[in-house]
Amino acid sequence: MRSVPWWVLLSSVSAPILLVGGWAISAELQGPDYDPASATISILASDGAGGYWVMTSALLALGACHVITACGLRPAAPFGRTALAGGGLSAMLLALVPAPSSGGSFAHGVVVSVGFSLLAVWPVLAVPRGAAGPRDLSARGAAYGTRAAAPPWGLRPVPSATAAAVMWLGGAWFLLALFVLDTAGAAERVLTFAQSFWPLVVVLSCVRDTGGPA
């Protein structure tokens, strides 16, 4: 299993930092009327928002980080890397279709939905074909008189499926919070942070299994 380049580690570390830093600074610039528990991140990047330029820059940088990570995450399956890159491009596209200050828009909602879906499904798509847990591979190796190597932990079926399931549950929570609970801001922050953090988990597992970045 080949290692990941050092710049993939840098991009995956930067993604969650840029996201959290972006919404924190933008909320501060927006003023005390902004409630991060109920108001979405999109409001911070809407036309006329006090921290528009900060949140928009953060989304562009976040998307770029996902694209860079996808390009260098060689141990992952191609479909997963493509989905991760697509999620990154969707984040960057939000800069071109910001939500109006008065509320959401159809185009903005479509981009958000596509980006969420791609980032929620990429963990499963990234699992290498035929990948299995270390016990199964050890049994196969014993049967053939060789020692088989398991893929990195973050690219194994169970952790990947679990991560995807958590993200989809987070999406359901966000929809419920948006229309019923009035806690859409908190739900969106938990969900988007999870989606920005999982690529780092995968990269770290690759680095650990291969002895360090290339």
Q: Among 177, 78, 153, which Cα is nearest to 122's?
A: 78
**Euclidean distance between the first and final Cα of the chain, in Å?**
12
Residue 94 domain-assigned?
yes
∠ CA(103), CA(95), CA(183), 5° rounding? 40
Residue 1 domain-assigned?
no
pLDDT surpassing 60 at residue 145: no
pLDDT surpassing 80 at residue 13: yes
Q: Domain containing 181: what range? A: 6-210
Share of the chain above pLDDT 90, in %: 63
pLDDT surpassing 50 at residue 144: no
Residue 31 in tokens = 């003023």
Give the chain's domain count: 1
Are the CB atoms for 206 and 58 separated by under 8 Å?
no
- How many Å is the Cα radius of gyration of the chain? 19
pLDDT surpassing 90 at residue 100: no
pLDDT surpassing 90 at residue 122: yes
31 compared with 90, residue with greater pLDDT: 90
pLDDT surpassing 60 at residue 11: yes
Q: What's residue 135's pLDDT?
A: 52
User: What is the average per-residue pLDDT within 61-90?
Assistant: 97
Q: What's residue 198's pLDDT?
A: 98
Residue 119 in tokens = 């980032």
Residue 75 domain-assigned?
yes
| pTM of this structure | 0.87
